[in-house]
Structure 1
Amino acid sequence: MRKSILLASAAATVLAAPCLALAQEKSESTGLAEIVVTATKRSANLQSVPVAVTAITGETIQNQRINEFGDLTRAAASLTLTQSTASPNNAIILRGIGTYAFSIGVEPSVAVIIDDVPVVQQAQAFDNLADVERIEVLRGPQGTLFGKNASAGAINIVTRDPSPRLEGRASATVTTDHAYKVDGALSGPISDSTGYRVSAYYGHYDGNVRNLSNGHRLNDNTSYGVHGKLRSELTDKLVLSLSGSYARSKSDGTAATLRYIDLNYIPAGATTPVIPKYNGVPILPALAGITPGPNNRRTRVDDDGFTDNKQASFSGKLSYDLGFANLISVTSYQDWKYNFSADVDGTDLAVNGAAPNVTNPIAPGVGVSNSGPYHATSFTQEVRLTSKTEGPLSYVVGAFYADSKTTRAFQRGPALILANWTGWQSTRSLAAFAGVDYKFPTNTTVSGAVRLNNERIQDSFVNLLSTATVYTSPTSIGTCGAGSQLCAGTNTDTVATWKLSVNQELAPRVTGYVSVATGYKGFAYDISSGYTPLRTQNPVQPEKSTSYEGGIKSRFFDNRVQLNVAAFLTNYNNFQAQSSQYINGALQQKLNNVGKLRTKGVEVEAQAKPVDWLRLDASVAYTDAQVLSFPNAACYPGQAQTGAGCAPSTNPPGLGNVQDRSNTQLPNSPKLKFNLGASLEHDLGGDMKGVLGLTYQHQSKVNFDLLGNPLAEQKGYGVLNASASVEKGDIKATLFVNNLFNEHFVSGIGDGFGSYGVHLTTQVLSRDSDRYFGLKVETKF
């Protein structure tokens, strides 16, 4: 905590120093622009809301090249992402809390909302950010107003509205890592009362991993999409907004690369090292030409794999001016489809034995692969009444209904770890919510919010393997084969969440606040491989949280310096997480309740514009996110063979080898993360100007494994990005470099000890883990 206070002070000092010298200097500029957010479901100045929120404006999105969801970590210090080669297995993490799970039946702890509409599956968020006006990263439980699954936070994305006059923009980008992108938008009036906006993009990236087996590049991406908005003033009081979008993102090859392999592993009782094998086949020939390590960008697989992500959405918004308030209705429908194939054995060797070669879904193969489509649909309806008067009282009252369904089919084989199943999940939510603020003459604002949520979840699972057995009664033993009537469940739950805060104006443009809030994420079915009838009878218990927060929001020096500080402590009970467990003597991946968690820390955000040609940005997050109680955690792969805290379970018995993971750091939760940025403008004469931009992001070490495998650790690292642009009239050209010092880092690490008999770790490498240069040319009218 002392370190966090020192860092907060340092950030404030660095940004304030240039302004101290200019405190007496007169300027016609108003300094930093005011930012309006909707973090409380009402439009309000960022500095007046008692919520820890990072507001990323369109200007910041452009200057820091925030093109995809993963780029948000550059601007929000409390945000990290865990990524895999398949986006449904990604995780969004705020203040150390996120949801990593294979099951389609569990919702993420961080909600993503796009134009008032929550996405169904977290994977939908990992897409291009096109034509965005503003992004709000709300930290801490936000469930009272944004829905029950926002138990750790919410990311609110607002796209641009139609403009009152004809305008347009277009841009093209090319980079040295074999990528290009074009995008554009056109907006204007149709009539005096109706306007439109249409935007589109297309991009391609060759990939950052070479498959030595066939010469193909893997981890490539081709994405394109279109988004349209129509806004019409039907009367002087009634406004209709229609929005629709379609996006597709696909890859013709996915892969993780070899980070480490232990060729000297000698098990207890043996005298010679283990030869790594997969299904009895030595895998060393598949390592030819590959040097394991963080710099490894090569692999050998017989199945390149693929991903295909399609989503379409439509929403309609009606706003009626009642004079004293606005009555707003938002209706939406989403359709998301995802399909994938992946090489499981990680080699190009014939490891199937007598089993037939793989012919589905894309090409013949001699190894083990898995594949299977997802399909999710969602209908939502929200109605809310929002005050609009400028008196001491403001409020929002509303109701929300959602009906979402997700299906998934999964196949794996053909030689071993066989799987062939279909699963279905349905969630129906009905909620009423209200929020109220009252400002007293003492400039003290008391705010309260409450949400009553009723939810019904349903699931079904069918094991299609020939060895599956039928489950017909609560006392029989089976594996949910076709005809197992009781391998489908229903659970209904009603819960209330609330938030209370006090906001005090301490001086002009300086306010302090304290708040307490509760969070909730409901029951969940673990719809994944290894499903047993017990999962139907015993859904994963709800995740609950209570958060305490205090902070100061301030602006100084004629509106040229902004400094916001927040301190927080949040307790979680029954945290839902994916981890290994011994089930009937076998180690399986399973969604389960970890136990008690606590995340606490300090966040500092500061901006300064000491002179009109210079802008400075800084954000620092010190986060201590720990598992307080996890006494019977499974041992990580290979730990049982090496000891080190791993022993047979005695209380209760029968769990296999376990360890105590109490008082340990959560996965991918850096204790320290900070972002620094600077933008300098210079008049080049005539109508030309130049802009130089620098950003630096640093984070401390993390471990990607909930069970603490030391081989899953990523050391601390920092990434420096730079850009230089020249603007003349309506044309702007920008040269930029990503990761100037070529600092290699990973977005995920896994250990294949159970498959190969030795520790063999693989790593997921994001595009930004390599240096590349680029040129972007854009125009507007």
Structure 2
Amino acid sequence: MKPTPHSRPLPLLAIGLFPFALHTPMASAADVSQAAQGDTALKPVTVTATRREASLQKVPVAVSVVEGEQLERENRTNIASIVQEVPTLNFRPGASAKDSSLFVRGVGTISTSPGVEPSVATVIDGVVYGRPGQSTLDLMDVERIEVLRGPQGTLFGRNASAGVLNVVSRDIPEQTHGYVDYSYLGGNEQRSRFSIGGALTDTLRGSLNTLWGDYGGNVTNDYNGDRVNGYRTKGVRGKLQFTPNDDLKVTLIGDYTEGSNTTPAGVAVSSKTAVFSQNFPGTPSAHNREVDNDLKTSAQDTNKGLSAQIDWRLGNYTLTSITAWRGWDNQMQQDQDGLATLPVTALHDTDQVAYDQYSQELRLASPSDQFLEYVGGVYLFHGKTDEAYTRTLVANSVVNSAHANFSATNDSYAVFGESTVHLSDDWRVIAGLRATHDTVEYDHQRVSSSPVTLASMRPSFSASDDTSANGYTGRLGLQHDFNDDVTGYVTYSRGYKGPAYNVYFQMYSADTKVLDPETSNAYEIGLKSTVFNKRLTANLALFRTDYDNYQANFYDLVAGSPVTRLINAGTVRTEGAEMDYAFQATAQLKLSGALAYTHARVVDFACPTGAAASCNINGKPLPFAPDWKSYVRADYSIPLDNGLDVELASDFNWQSETQFSLDQNVDTRQGAYGIWNASVALADYTAGWRVSLLGKNLGDRSYATLLTNGSNAINRMVPRDDRRYFGIQVRKDF
């Protein structure tokens, strides 16, 4: 889809706020209410981006913070939903969670293979999630989400070549506190959450959180009239914290979440074949919300995990141990042909994924504010995926099928650390190193009823292999405090992403070669400031990262049907500027926002042998990397004489044209668009209640979060806010 005639290169509001632009967390209504009581200084934000608590305005890292309270009030329920608020972050959705991935500064991993590690690591309460699909789970009891950009291997356990999403849950309250909230939104979407926590004994605290959600969907299946593109989810999360003395703290966390969705494999934007155009009962278009599936596309996910974190103070040092297990089960069925009564070919898939991971991190942190301060540790990781995939192909009344069983094991061992040398009160040197040893092995067995290649189906095949590699990365930087309120830094980071195999249902001989590790060189200059009596925080980051042996998907053909192959795609570069700010304009009005310019391009493409798509893509954009992306927000609080507060909020996010495919298909481009949301709330914080009305996509702008090149049609993923809708949210604290 091409840009609409009314598209602009940058929203006018973002241009007007450009002089303030730089980087801080977005406002929450509670912050505005606090300011309305006479405090016009912004609330300080503490982050753990450097693996110790520090002020956001002092850490020499480009990091965005989104408050959990704000996400809850805006009905942003999972990690995928925060991309509208963080311009440097993008998300690739999928009909199944295992098809999803995250992108930071235009770089991510588009692959369903269990033999490749994600470029962007998701870390929840210190535990790294090994598969991208795990991070699509609904979030519970979130204090904040920190989005760190660039390589982060010298500070975090699992390697992170492009960035880290660090999710921090709320501390257990010392006094018993709980809440319950309920939301009803347009389209018959309902969500509820319950939380309670507090002291159980003098040395033991605990909390319990639950969630439930149900949504029928916003797409119609013409085959039977059902609503699809919806979800159902439920989950529970418990935390216990034991502090026998001032020097020891033990935290145990367990969670279990079940989710299902009816997301179609694709909603037709345009027909590619005469058969499809003549038999599809609806009208393919950029705004189409109809499918024709005789097999209901659906996916079920189960996320579960246990972790134990021990923080032990040894004098002025802190020793931290994090031991964790996580399990993830994913089942899906997909109608790939898109027609219920197809005179030529029907294509149906089913898939089952079982994944388990075990990790151990041991970390030592020195005292802060010393001449030499450091964080160092060791990290051990083991992940195992077992997958069973079946495809049924009906062509001219002839039924063929293929079934594949494949597995992949990923082991990683690392020693990492980062130190800061305080040369003086206002000059610091940052140095970090990491040594990583990765081992990957796989086994693949496919049995097909056809001895020859058919459309979308290859014959029987088997293969197995293993590989290992060592990676050495680091970080070097210089930081200077110009005064108490302004700090600047310059850093160089070396990134690394381990070897990989393209293990998937259609795997064949060309996929058996191991992919070389992906490496990167990242340069960043940053400036963080707090001015106007702490009423304005504004941060700027300029960056450039060059990637070699970039691991990416590229199109190939199987008997005329498109598939994707994971390859070392050559050299790519991402460079640009990021600017975020928060401004307490008055005691009642807070403005905040972010702006990113990301020039992510292919520099020298390594064309694979027998590629089906054009290899003339040098200088072209990377997938899921709009050049411009912005977010602006205003919060206004009106205190009433009777102790009530009226809270008004409005936000607008905008992005320029986005290409979804590395091969630069003209049909997989989403034009520029903007989404406007607003809310009004009435609250009595003394009595502990709040009622709000939400309005989503008030401009009624239809758009695609993904466009794909299918066998019969160009398809899109339809977002939840593809059309305007309203809702009500009620919360009671006790």
Fold shared by both chains (TM-score > 0.5): yes
Indicate whether 1:109 and 2:119 are aligned: yes
Of residues 722, 734, 751, the one that matches 2:692 is: 734
Q: CA deviation at 1:59?
A: 3.7
The residue that corresponds to 1:519 in the other structure is 495
Letter in 2 for 1:542: P
Consecutive unaligned residues of structure 1, counting only runs of 5 or more, are: 17-24, 263-274, 278-282, 354-366, 470-477, 634-651
The residue that corresponds to 2:718 in the other structure is 765
Letter in 2 for 1:444: W
Q: Deviations over 1:73-128 (max 9, x none)?
A: 12211111121222211221111111111212111111000000011210111121
The residue that corresponds to 2:166 in the other structure is 156
CA–CA separation in structure 2 for the residues paired with 1:578 and 1:462 = 22
The residue that corresponds to 1:561 in the other structure is 536
Of residues 713, 731, 734, the one that matches 1:778 is: 731
CA–CA separation in structure 2 for the residues paired with 1:26 and 1:467 = 72
CA–CA separation in structure 1 for the residues paired with 2:680 and 2:319 = 46
CA–CA separation in structure 2 for the residues paired with 1:551 and 1:225 = 40
The residue that corresponds to 2:310 in the other structure is 318
CA–CA separation in structure 2 for the residues paired with 1:109 and 1:253 = 25
Identity percentage of aligned residues: 29
Indicate whether 1:676 and 2:682 are aligned: no
Q: In the alignment, is the contact (CA less than 8 A) between 1:378 and 1:404 conserved in 2? A: yes
Q: Deviations over 1:599-647 (max 9, x none)?
A: 00000000011222111111000000001112636xxxxxxxxxxxxxx
Letter in 1 for 2:225: G
CA–CA separation in structure 1 for the residues paired with 2:557 and 2:270 = 26
Of residues 361, 364, 369, the one that matches 1:382 is: 361
Specify whether residues 535 and 294 from structure 1 end up closer, same or farther in structure 2 by C-alpha distance, changes over 3 A only: closer
Q: In the alignment, is the contact (CA less than 8 A) between 2:637 and 2:648 conserved in 1? A: yes
Of residues 218, 235, 239, the one that matches 2:249 is: 239
Letter in 2 for 1:343: D
Specify whether residues 100 and 735 from structure 1 end up closer, same or farther in structure 2 by C-alpha distance, changes over 3 A only: same
CA–CA separation in structure 1 for the residues paired with 2:613 and 2:484 = 60
Of residues 95, 100, 111, the one that matches 1:85 is: 95
Q: In the alignment, is the contact (CA less than 8 A) between 2:36 and 2:639 conserved in 1? A: no
Of residues 641, 650, 655, the one that matches 1:699 is: 655
Q: CA deviation at 1:284?
A: 4.1
TM alignment of 1:541-580, pairs within 5 A: 541-580=516-555
CA–CA separation in structure 1 for the residues paired with 2:662 and 2:301 = 28
Q: In the alignment, is the contact (CA less than 8 A) between 1:238 and 1:320 conserved in 2? A: yes
SS at match of 2:394: coil
The residue that corresponds to 1:640 in the other structure is none
Consecutive unaligned residues of structure 2, counting only runs of 5 or more, are: 1-8, 23-34, 453-457
Structure number with the bigger relative contact order (C-alpha 8 A, sep ≥ 6) is 2
Q: In the alignment, is the contact (CA less than 8 A) between 1:120 and 1:377 conserved in 2? A: no
CA-based RMSD = 2.5
The residue that corresponds to 2:678 in the other structure is 722
Q: CA deviation at 1:389?
A: 4.0
CA–CA separation in structure 1 for the residues paired with 2:414 and 2:662 = 33
Q: CA deviation at 1:584?
A: 11
Specify whether residues 587 and 325 from structure 1 end up closer, same or farther in structure 2 by C-alpha distance, changes over 3 A only: same
CA–CA separation in structure 1 for the residues paired with 2:635 and 2:153 = 36
Of residues 166, 179, 182, the one that matches 1:169 is: 179
The residue that corresponds to 2:376 in the other structure is 397
CA–CA separation in structure 2 for the residues paired with 1:376 and 1:407 = 6
TM alignment of 1:179-190, pairs within 5 A: 179-190=189-200
Q: CA deviation at 1:43?
A: 1.3
The residue that corresponds to 1:357 in the other structure is none
Letter in 1 for 2:730: V
Specify whether residues 26 and 468 from structure 1 end up closer, same or farther in structure 2 by C-alpha distance, changes over 3 A only: closer
How many residue pairs get aligned? The number is 703
CA–CA separation in structure 1 for the residues paired with 2:566 and 2:446 = 18
Letter in 2 for 1:621: A
Q: CA deviation at 1:173?
A: 0.2
Q: CA deviation at 1:442?
A: 4.7
Of residues 612, 620, 626, the one that matches 2:587 is: 612
The residue that corresponds to 1:334 in the other structure is 326
Q: CA deviation at 1:534?
A: 4.9
The residue that corresponds to 1:430 in the other structure is 413
The residue that corresponds to 2:31 in the other structure is none
Q: In the alignment, is the contact (CA less than 8 A) between 1:479 and 1:531 conserved in 2? A: no
Specify whether residues 9 and 776 from structure 1 end up closer, same or farther in structure 2 by C-alpha distance, changes over 3 A only: closer
Q: CA deviation at 1:717?
A: 0.3
SS at match of 2:585: strand
CA–CA separation in structure 1 for the residues paired with 2:614 and 2:212 = 49
CA–CA separation in structure 1 for the residues paired with 2:506 and 2:625 = 29
Q: In the alignment, is the contact (CA less than 8 A) between 1:479 and 1:532 conserved in 2? A: no
TM alignment of 1:60-79, pairs within 5 A: 60-79=70-89
Q: In the alignment, is the contact (CA less than 8 A) between 1:377 and 1:404 conserved in 2? A: yes
Q: Deviations over 1:215-248 (max 9, x none)?
A: 1111110001101100011333221100000011
Specify whether residues 15 and 594 from structure 1 end up closer, same or farther in structure 2 by C-alpha distance, changes over 3 A only: closer
CA–CA separation in structure 2 for the residues paired with 1:657 and 1:743 = 32
Specify whether residues 593 and 585 from structure 1 end up closer, same or farther in structure 2 by C-alpha distance, changes over 3 A only: farther
Q: CA deviation at 1:393?
A: 2.4
Q: CA deviation at 1:296?
A: 1.1
Of residues 494, 501, 504, the one that matches 2:477 is: 501
Of residues 745, 748, 752, the one that matches 2:706 is: 748
Specify whether residues 589 and 317 from structure 1 end up closer, same or farther in structure 2 by C-alpha distance, changes over 3 A only: same
CA–CA separation in structure 1 for the residues paired with 2:13 and 2:451 = 58
SS at match of 2:57: helix
The residue that corresponds to 2:599 in the other structure is 624
CA–CA separation in structure 1 for the residues paired with 2:36 and 2:89 = 38
Indicate whether 1:248 and 2:258 are aligned: yes
Q: Deviations over 1:540-561 (max 9, x none)?
A: 1111111000010000011000
SS at match of 1:291: coil
SS at match of 1:11: helix
Specify whether residues 105 and 480 from structure 1 end up closer, same or farther in structure 2 by C-alpha distance, changes over 3 A only: farther
CA–CA separation in structure 2 for the residues paired with 1:349 and 1:320 = 65
The residue that corresponds to 1:292 in the other structure is 284
Letter in 1 for 2:723: D
CA–CA separation in structure 1 for the residues paired with 2:102 and 2:632 = 22
Q: In the alignment, is the contact (CA less than 8 A) between 2:40 and 2:587 conserved in 1? A: no
SS at match of 2:519: strand
Q: In the alignment, is the contact (CA less than 8 A) between 2:76 and 2:82 conserved in 1? A: yes
Q: In the alignment, is the contact (CA less than 8 A) between 2:631 and 2:652 conserved in 1? A: yes
Specify whether residues 705 and 585 from structure 1 end up closer, same or farther in structure 2 by C-alpha distance, changes over 3 A only: closer
Specify whether residues 27 and 721 from structure 1 end up closer, same or farther in structure 2 by C-alpha distance, changes over 3 A only: closer
- Between stretches 121-130 and 249-258, larger displacement belongs to 249-258
SS at match of 2:80: helix
Letter in 2 for 1:501: G
The residue that corresponds to 1:709 in the other structure is 665
The residue that corresponds to 2:446 in the other structure is 463
Q: In the alignment, is the contact (CA less than 8 A) between 1:750 and 1:762 conserved in 2? A: yes
The residue that corresponds to 1:268 in the other structure is none
SS at match of 2:245: coil
Larger radius of gyration: 1
SS at match of 1:41: coil
Q: In the alignment, is the contact (CA less than 8 A) between 1:91 and 1:98 conserved in 2? A: yes
Q: Deviations over 1:695-753 (max 9, x none)?
A: 0000001111111111111110000000000002211000010000111110111223x
Q: CA deviation at 1:401?
A: 0.4
Q: CA deviation at 1:586?
A: 8.8
SS at match of 1:659: coil
CA–CA separation in structure 2 for the residues paired with 1:732 and 1:655 = 57
Q: Deviations over 1:328-372 (max 9, x none)?
A: 11000001000000001100114477xxxxxxxxxxxxx320011
The residue that corresponds to 2:227 in the other structure is 217
CA–CA separation in structure 2 for the residues paired with 1:87 and 1:351 = 31
Q: In the alignment, is the contact (CA less than 8 A) between 1:148 and 1:453 conserved in 2? A: no
The residue that corresponds to 1:308 in the other structure is 300
With normalisation by structure 2, the TM-score equals: 0.92
Q: CA deviation at 1:57?
A: 2.0
